[in-house]
Structure 1
């Protein structure tokens, strides 16, 4: 793997999930649901809102960058010396929604972070899908 100092790596995880975007959006934006599949947090779906994600291994400093309800969400993901952005994109399909997560900003010196994110995001995505699967369609948690 070689790249110049300006180049960065990205982790991308995509999967089609058999649920409408509105249902997935709840799991991406409601703090008690985010905690179930990702980490403890004080998320609010408001551009400019700063929040932390916390786990046993440490904290991630985040700020909401952009929101397009039921379609896209982006927030900074900063920890130690990593400055990155996580972007979620939801695209309706015939069978549900194509859910795409992209984390950009890994430099050549941050390959351990990149490898960790590459391993963790597929598990987070699977846990997110499990949370969505148990939600009812009326907007209440099952």
Structure 2
């Protein structure tokens, strides 16, 4: 694959002072996902197709690809758009690793074409904002 067609990934990592079980709940329970990410009809089953509905009116078509409870979750993150700079077929993977003080969370969104600089930059900023909210949601659980 030549450098000009190589797909790029956004990776955001964070240490969260919460056990993996709390973060896993925030990643996998529909009502909690709505609090930190977007409104959705998520279900924790491989092959489940669901939608994420952004506040801006956009709808993402998603499908659960892989589940490793309290360790890893992957799903497609596809946004249809007539403009190839904004249309996106990607995969989001969350990886949780227990640490002494809580959990290391790594989020990777792969599938950005080199021409999608704005979408790539937006995803990088967006994930940082989403993870700020996720951290709050994980901490607020009973």
Does the TM-score normalized on the shorter chain lie above 0.5?
yes
Report runs of 4+ in structure 1 exceeding 2 Å deviation: none
CA offsets 1:75-103 (integer angstroms, 9 cap, x no match): 00000221000000000001100011000
How many residues are treated as equivalent by the alignment? 134
CA distance in 1, matches of 2:74, 2:106: 12
> In the alignment, is residue 108 of structure 1 matched against residue 114 of structure 2?
yes
CA distance in 1, matches of 2:55, 2:66: 28
Structure 1: stretches of 5+ with no match in the other structure: 137-142
CA offsets 1:86-133 (integer angstroms, 9 cap, x no match): 000000001100011000000022222101101110000010000011
SS at match of 2:133: helix
CA distance in 2, matches of 1:3, 1:118: 21
Q: CA RMSD in A?
A: 1.1
CA distance in 1, matches of 2:14, 2:135: 10
Alignment check: 8 A CA contact 2:11 2:108 kept? yes
CA distance in 2, matches of 1:130, 1:64: 24
Alignment check: 8 A CA contact 2:63 2:76 kept? yes
Partner of 2:49: 50
SS at match of 1:70: coil
> In the alignment, is residue 67 of structure 1 matched against residue 67 of structure 2?
yes
> In the alignment, is residue 88 of structure 1 matched against residue 94 of structure 2?
yes
Give TM-score, length-normalised by structure 2.
0.91
